[in-house]
A and B are shown apart, each in its own frame.
Chain A
Amino acid sequence: MTPGEPLIRGDWLLSHVGEIALRVGEHLELTVIAVVVGFLIAFVLSLAALRIPRLYAPITWTTGILYTIPSLALFALLIPYTGLSLLTAEIGLVSYTLLILIRNIVAGVRGVPAEVRDAARGMGYTDRQILWRVEIPLALAVIFAGIRVATITTIGLVTVTALIGQGGMGYFILLGIQLFFSTALIVGALGSVVLAVLADGALVLAQRALTPWTHAR
């Protein structure tokens, strides 16, 4: 952005390979923790909502409000209590995964055809066996769709956590903005998009491996 300077400086890229790798690692770590913890919480809340349908509305309402609050605002509200820490970042990131995941888990399980459930009951399955062996395996496709959206969204949001000192690709974007240095801007922005695309691809492969029957002939 400085006149006469190229948009991307190859020498800077070469001399910063180590740091780029480090930031990619931080970015992935922040994402994986958020999605895994988010999924565990969402799973428990979804099971509760499936067992007690009255709970579904308040759960989606609460997680919907959390989803609406801007990420930077949520981090800012937490800072006086949890500081510029990994915990602050993760509380925010996990909050944003909940609504997406809960909607998909509940919709997936509810979408299992009643005949299938009846057949399982007729074969002597208990309620617990029906949940784990029939409903959840059949809901996996919809659940995975939720995990994919949650992961992509989280990878994008992680860039914002650089503002509260958590590194990741957002670090390069902030560096680029502060120094008016386009190479760092592009590394950070493009890096985050590439990570999202790669993660999505990996999840599609994982889903295929876990649900072989969806593409059997």
Chain B
Amino acid sequence: MSALVALVRWLTDPVNWQGSHGIPIRVLEHIELSGLSVLAALVIAMPIALYLGHTGRAGFIAINVANIGRALPSLALLAFGLVIAISLGLGLGFWPTVFALVPLAIPPILTNSYVAIREVDRDIVDAARGMGLSEGQILRSIEVPLGLPLMLAGIRTAAVNVVATATLGALVAGGALGRFIVDGLALQEYDQLMAGALLVALLAVVTEVSFSALERATVPPGMAAIR
């Protein structure tokens, strides 16, 4: 019980809401770190997924990338991110964490987008081709809109994983919400520790819920009627 009281006291203390170590800055850092990493993963994975999905090539690889991704432990990715960032002279904190988060985000985006494009009814694609649509038009106006909810599901998985794992960035001297947890552990300040944990958990759940809402909103009207 006393732990909860301490938690509430810490969260309502104005000192913790101010300055460069305050909650609002840490939340923004967390969102910046996660957002940039997911964006970078999208830029890398999406063209590959769209190309492979549209042509139907390399399906085995595209699907199994997700399984390999799951076997990569986040802490191990952080270790590799650290080695890469230091050998590139980018220092501690932000970049080692980004290098860890991008490979974490790529597998679910790649696999889901590939499957999303592949699962579009081939009869529809054939009909579109028969009507004289170019391959690019088929991808843009048929496959992507119909596959969008499933593609977003992959991005959601990636984003939630990234938000969760961005916490570990504090281990390599990064900012973000992990700072509260790692400092709280090191200093045995349980109020700070629990507050950080609560904020990260909240951010992860908000990410999950927002993407789920986006998925539902992007179901094409014609398909929603069928369901």
Residues of A within 8 A of B (CB): 1, 65, 68-77, 79-81, 149, 152-153, 155-160, 162-164, 169-170, 173-174, 176-177, 180, 182, 185-186, 188-190, 192-193, 196-197, 200
**B75 close to A77 (CB less than 8 A):** no
Closest to A163 in B: B185
* 23 A-B residue pairings within 8 Å (CB atoms): A68-B201, A70-B164, A72-B167, A72-B168, A72-B181, A72-B197, A75-B197, A76-B184, A76-B193, A77-B194, A80-B194, A152-B70, A156-B72, A160-B74, A162-B75, A169-B73, A173-B75, A173-B78, A177-B172, A185-B83, A189-B77, A192-B73, A192-B75
Chain A residue contacts of B196, Cβ below 8 A: 73, 76
Interchain residue pairs A-B with the least CB separation, the first 10: A189-B76, A70-B164, A156-B73, A76-B197, A80-B3, A73-B197, A159-B75, A196-B71, A185-B79, A73-B200
Chain B interface extent, by class:
35 or more
Instruction: Check if B124 is an interface residue, CB within 8 A of chain A.
Output: no
**B79 close to A189 (CB less than 8 A):** yes
Closest to B76 in A: A189
**A65 close to B76 (CB less than 8 A):** no
Instruction: Check if B11 is an interface residue, CB within 8 A of chain A.
Output: no
Chain A residue contacts of B75, Cβ below 8 A: 159-160, 162, 170, 173-174, 188-189, 192
**B72 close to A193 (CB less than 8 A):** yes
Chain A residue contacts of B198, Cβ below 8 A: 73, 77
A153 to B164, CA, bound (A): 14
Instruction: Check if B50 is an interface residue, CB within 8 A of chain A.
Output: no
A68 to B86, CA, bound (A): 31
**B160 close to A188 (CB less than 8 A):** no
Chain A residue contacts of B204, Cβ below 8 A: 68-70, 73
**A73 close to B72 (CB less than 8 A):** no
